C-alpha cells in the first residue's frame, strides 16, 4: 500500500500484472493475473464458464470449481483446476500455465472489464466435491460437511 491507501501492482510479468504468492492459511498456491481489456462486467457467465472449460481442455485440465466475486469495476474470477484425468497434483507451474492461457483468451475477446483478477489454484486439501465422479473417486474417505442453511 502507498500513502493514501492506493495499491501498486507489478507490471510487465507475462505481459500483464502477475504475482504468484502463498497466503497464510491457504491450502494451495494461487497464481493471480490482471489485465486491461474494457467490457461490461454483466458478461454472460455461463458463456465464460464454457469458454474456460474449453480452453482448459486444450491444456489437459478441467474446472473443479468456479467462483465469481468482486464488483462490476473489478470482478474476481476464482478457478480451482485439476489434471484430466486427475492422476497427479496441480503445481504452481500448472496454475501459471492455465492463467496465461485464460488471460490470453479473455484479452483476445475483451470478455471481462479492463481491471479483473483471475485466481487459479489447485483443489487443495479442502477441495469441494462438485461432480458425481468426485464422490466416486473419494468414496470411503472421511469428509467434512458444511451446511449453508440452519
Is the pTM higher than 0.75? The answer reads no
For residues 75 and 117, is the Cβ–Cβ distance under 8 A? yes
Domains of the chain: which residue ranges?
Answer: 34-137
C-alpha cell at 65: 470449481
At the topology level of CATH, where does 34-137 sit? GMP Synthetase; Chain A, domain 3 (3.30.300)
- How confident is the model over 43-51, as a mean pLDDT? 80
Which residues have a Cβ under 8 Å from the Cβ of 48 and sit 6 or more positions away? 77, 111, 112
Q: How far is CA 84 from the centre of its chain?
A: 16
Taking all residues of the chain, what is their mean pLDDT, rounded to a whole number? 73
Given this model, what pLDDT does residue 19 score? 34
**For the segment 98-149, what is each residue's pLDDT rounded down to a tens digit?**
999 999 998 888 777 778 899 999 988 777 777 787 788 778 888 778 888 7
Q: Please write the tens of the pLDDT for every residue from 18-32.
A: 333 333 334 444 555
Amino acid at each position: 500500500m502507498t500513502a493514501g491507501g492506493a495499491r501498486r501492482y507489478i507490471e510487465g510479468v507475462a505481459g500483464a500484472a502477475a504475482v504468484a504468492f502463498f497466503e497464510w492459511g491457504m491450502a494451495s498456491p494461487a497464481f493471480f493475473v490482471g489485465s486491461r481489456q474494457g467490457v461490461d462486467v454483466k458478461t454472460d457467465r455461463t458463456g465464460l464458464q464454457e469458454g474456460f472449460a474449453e480452453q482448459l481442455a486444450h491444456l489437459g485440465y478441467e474446472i473443479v470449481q468456479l467462483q465469481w466475486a468482486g464488483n462490476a469495476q473489478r470482478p474476481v474470477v476464482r478457478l480451482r483446476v485439476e489434471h484430466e484425468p486427475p492422476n497427479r497434483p496441480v503445481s504452481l507451474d500448472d496454475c501459471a500455465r492455465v492463467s496465461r492461457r485464460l488471460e490470453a483468451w479473455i484479452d483476445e475477446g475483451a470478455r471481462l472489464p479492463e481491471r479483473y483478477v483471475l485466481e487459479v489454484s489447485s483443489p487443495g486439501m479442502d477441495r469441494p466435491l462438485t461432480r458425481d465422479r468426485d464422490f466416486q473417486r473419494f468414496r470411503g474417505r472421511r469428509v467434512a460437511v458444511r451446511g449453508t442453511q440452519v
